[in-house]
């Protein structure tokens, strides 16, 4: 789960690496390090904690070299410490690694018997010694690298360099992302495209088993045996400003505020108003096949799982077909009853989440087709799926997912509309009506953002509380889960999301005057029932924050605080409600002085089980 980076060019690698690592910090930030070739010698600098600590250390004692590699870490083997931070050296070899080496103990034992001394608790150090070991046998760095990776089991993206061959960086991947880039002056490698945007838009995504060689002459890709492989280059449209905070205090706030524009982007060019249909040309599965789909499944993790739950409610209510939703880590190990003819929809912002990827592979093994709703273009999940519906929300840097969630939900609206039209459950007129509704969603989000000050006031009133409960019904039950997840992950307040009707079956025992209850009560067919649940918690003295539809006055009597979203169709309320809860969680976290973009113990992309 770490970020790796490499540079070989004419400028000082230190600046390129440090600036690039800032873009990758979302992948892990418990320690960071770089290695450069300074006058032919490997020089390593590592620091515990945020990248600024490494910057400080480089200010105290500067380095210069035009070739280098860098790393930002999220610990798996060994606690965050300077010793465990990457890069790791052995002999005249230095490497950085993202992933987990499953057979590192066996390798370690063997290498220790050969006389290698391990200085860290990491699995990565075994790779460095392994390469050095193979170099001892008078092999070139490339030969040693190839021989070494043949012995590795697990997941990895590895970049390495060697004093003996200073004009070369070597990289490989298996199960972890890696992208190469180049311009007229330099070549680059990275865990994702964001650090490269300041230098180039032309990139090459490596596949598992690829070995990349970066030299002043450019980039070549071969397989593990040295046979050349041609990998297509892609053009990346994201602009460099997209990965900056744009003046906002945190990426999370910037990303929340981007949502009206992003939701438009998700929709843009993807419908035909005349046909009253979504036009998902970029999905490569022939969409007519949806008529024959035996059973639909949705599989995802975390916030993406919540989007999947919204998708289930949506698909079932629009097209009246059963949909099963699963958490990635559960699906992969419970021998799911997936069969040929089934469609498994996997949802992921990063497209690299290990459990979601494993679920997609399992679904394919069982004969299902896999359609993925993904944000990161060229990610492993996108490449391995039969079809991809990109959410187009741009890079999401904040660990707490916001814009990815709402764009995933928007993608489900488009998908459900298209399946409904394809299966003739919706006629063109229904379709046009839906498209009108979808076109209004960005405006609903704008409305919520305009009323952010009300959410700040709510945050000020409640940020010292230690427990929260979120209640929702129907399509807004997953929004209660998502609201609670947002609050807990960035404010460290304990929060539970519940189906409102389930309250009385146990959780109501938790309620007292110190436990605020957030009730999602927009106008819909379950409104009265939700209001009854609100009254039940109120009767037990809980402070109630109600999120209702604009113009609803009946709630004034019962809730302590009210926030109104625009009065929209019931199936569309999840998006404005989610945005209101994102803003509430954000302001609570800020008031609690938490580093919102870097919540403790979390990483943006969970590429390990």
User: Among residues 401, 407, 491, 573, which is the contact residue for ligand M6R, using CB under 6 A?
Assistant: 401
Of the CA atoms within 13 Å of residue 27, those in its CB half-sphere come to: 31
Residues 304-323 that bind ligand M6R (CB under 6 A): 304
Residues 418-447 contacting ligand M6R, CB under 6 A: none
For 316, how many CA atoms within 13 A lie in the half-sphere containing its CB? 15
Q: What are the angstrom distances between the C-alpha of 297 and each of 363, 389, 461, 543, 571? A: 10, 16, 41, 38, 20
The CB-side HSE value for 232 (13 A sphere, CA atoms) comes to 5
Tell me which residue has its CB nearest to ligand M6R.
Answer: 302
- DSSP H/E element including 347: strand 343-348
Rounded distance between C-alpha atoms, residue 96 and residue 141, angstroms = 15
Nearer Cβ to ligand M6R (533/605): 605
Residue 399 as a binder of ligand M6R (CB under 6 A): the answer is yes
Q: Is 301 in the site for ligand M6R (CB under 6 A)?
A: yes
| Binder of ligand M6R out of 172, 259, 329, 356 (CB under 6 A) | 356
Q: 173: helix, coil or strand?
A: strand
Contact set for ligand M6R, span 488-517 (CB under 6 A): 489
Rounded to a whole number of angstroms, the minimum distance from the CB of residue 68 to ligand M6R is 29
Number of residues that bind ligand M6R (CB under 6 A): 16
- Distance, CA of 318 to CA of 296 (rounded, Å): 14
Nearest distance from C-beta of residue 29 to ligand M6R, angstroms: 14
Q: Can 604 be counted among the known catalytic residues?
A: yes
Query: Of these, 161, 256, 354, 400, which contacts ligand M6R (CB under 6 A)?
Result: 400
Q: Which of 2, 89, 176, 568 is catalytic?
A: 2
Nearest to 206 by CA among 25, 380, 388: 380
**Binding range to ligand M6R, per CB under 6 A, among 319-327, 428-436, 587-595, 599-607:** 599-607
Taking Cα atoms as reference points, which of 592, 323, 540, 579 lies closest to residue 448?
A: 579
Identify which range of 188-196, 239-247, 345-353, 571-579 contacts ligand M6R by CB under 6 A: 345-353
Does the protein bind ligand M6R through residue 348 (CB under 6 A)? yes
For ligand M6R, the closer CB: 401 or 524: 401
Judged by beta carbon, residue 149 or residue 485, the one nearer ligand M6R is: 485
CB 256 within 8 A of CB 583: yes
349 contacts ligand M6R (rule: CB under 6 A): yes
By DSSP bridging, strand 271-272 and strand 211-215 are unpaired
- Judged by CB, which is closer to ligand M6R: 133, or 584? 584
3-state class of 320 per DSSP? Answer: coil
The token duo for 313 is 């409610």
Considering the complex, state which of residue 36 and residue 400 has its C-beta at the smaller distance from ligand M6R: 400
Q: What is the DSSP letter of 194?
A: G
Give me the least distance between CB of 205 and ligand M6R, in Å please: 17
CB 158 within 8 A of CB 94: no
**Short-list 478, 289, 271, 314, CA closest to 371:** 289
Residue among 92, 372, 605, 607 that touches ligand M6R (CB under 6 A)? 605
Angle between helices 428-450 and 259-267 (to 10 degrees): 160
CB of 468 to ligand M6R, least distance (A): 16
Among the listed ranges 88-96, 127-135, 350-358, 457-465, the one in contact with ligand M6R (CB under 6 A) is 350-358
Q: Which is nearer to ligand M6R, 548 or 606 (by Cβ)?
A: 606
d(CA 539, CA 503): 13
Peptide bond into 434 cis (omega under 30): no
Closer by beta carbon to ligand M6R, 99 or else 566: 99
Catalytic residues: 2, 604
Binding positions for ligand M6R, rule: CB under 6 A? 301-304, 348-350, 353, 356, 399-401, 489, 602, 605-606
């Amino acid at each position: 789960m770490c970020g790796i980076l490499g540079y070989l060019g004419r400028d000082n690698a230190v600046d390129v690496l440090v600036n690039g690592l800032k873009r990758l910090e979302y992948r892990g930030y418990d320690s960071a390090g770089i290695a450069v070739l300074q006058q032919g010698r490997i020089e390593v600098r590592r620091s515990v904690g945020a990248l600024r600590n490494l910057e400080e250390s480089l200010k105290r004692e500067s380095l210069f070299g035009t070739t280098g590699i860098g790393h930002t870490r999220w610990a798996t083997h060994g606690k965050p410490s300077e010793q465990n931070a990457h890069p790791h050296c052995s002999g005249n070899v230095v490497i950085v690694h993202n992933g987990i080496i499953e057979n590192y103990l066996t390798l370690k034992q063997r290498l220790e018997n050969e006389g290698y001394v391990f200085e860290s608790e990491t699995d990565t150090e075994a790779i460095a010694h392994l390469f050095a070991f193979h170099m001892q046998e008078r092999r070139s760095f490339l030969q040693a690298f190839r021989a070494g990776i043949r012995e590795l089991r697990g997941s990895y993206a590895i970049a390495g360099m060697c004093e003996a061959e200073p004009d070369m960086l070597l990289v490989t991947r298996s199960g972890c992302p890696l992208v190469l880039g180049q311009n007229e002056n330099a070549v680059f490698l990275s865990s994702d495209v964001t650090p490269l945007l300041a230098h180039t838009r032309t990139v090459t995504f490596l596949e598992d088993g690829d070995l990349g060689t970066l030299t002043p002459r450019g980039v070549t890709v071969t397989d593990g045996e040295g046979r050349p492989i041609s990998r297509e280059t892609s053009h990346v449209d994201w602009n460099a400003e997209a990965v900056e905070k744009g003046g906002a205090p945190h990426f999370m706030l910037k990303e929340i505020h981007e949502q009206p524009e992003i939701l438009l982007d998700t929709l843009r060019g993807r419908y035909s108003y005349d046909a009253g249909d979504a036009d998902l040309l970029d999905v490569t599965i022939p969409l007519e096949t949806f008529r024959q789909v035996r059973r639909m499944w949705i599989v995802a993790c975390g916030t993406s799982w919540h989007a999947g739950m919204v998708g289930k409610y949506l698909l079932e209510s629009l097209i009246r077909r059963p949909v099963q939703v699963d958490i990635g880590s559960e699906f992969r190990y419970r021998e799911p009853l997936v069969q040929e003819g089934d469609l498994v929809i996997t949802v992921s912002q990063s497209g690299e989440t290990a459990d979601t990827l494993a679920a997609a592979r399992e679904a394919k093994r069982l004969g299902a087709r896999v359609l993925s709703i993904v944000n990161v273009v060229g990610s492993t999940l996108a490449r391995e799926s039969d079809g991809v519906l990109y959410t187009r929300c741009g890079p999401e840097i904040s660990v707490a997912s916001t814009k990815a969630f709402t764009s995933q939900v928007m993608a489900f609206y488009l998908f459900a509309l298209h399946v409904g039209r394809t299966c003739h459950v919706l006629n063109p007129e229904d379709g046009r009506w839906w498209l009108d509704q979808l076109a209004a969603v960005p405006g609903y989000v704008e409305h919520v953002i305009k009323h952010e000050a009300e959410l700040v006031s709510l945050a000020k009133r409640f940020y010292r509380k230690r427990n929260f409960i979120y209640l929702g019904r129907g399509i807004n039950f997953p929004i209660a889960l998502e609201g609670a997840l947002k609050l807990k992950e960035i404010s460290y307040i304990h929060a539970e999301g519940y189906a409102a009707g389930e309250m009385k079956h146990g959780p109501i025992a938790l309620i007292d005057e110190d436990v605020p209850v957030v009730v999602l009560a927009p106008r819909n067919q379950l409104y009265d029932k939700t209001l009854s649940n609100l009254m039940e918690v109120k009767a037990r003295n809980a402070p109630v924050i109600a999120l209702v539809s604009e113009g609803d006055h009946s709630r004034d009597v019962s809730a302590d605080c009210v926030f109104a979203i625009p009065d929209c169709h019931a199936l569309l309320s999840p998006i404005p409600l989610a945005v209101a809860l994102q803003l509430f969680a954000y302001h609570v976290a800020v008031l609690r002085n938490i580093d919102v973009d870097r919540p403790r113990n979390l990483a943006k992309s969970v590429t390990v089980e």
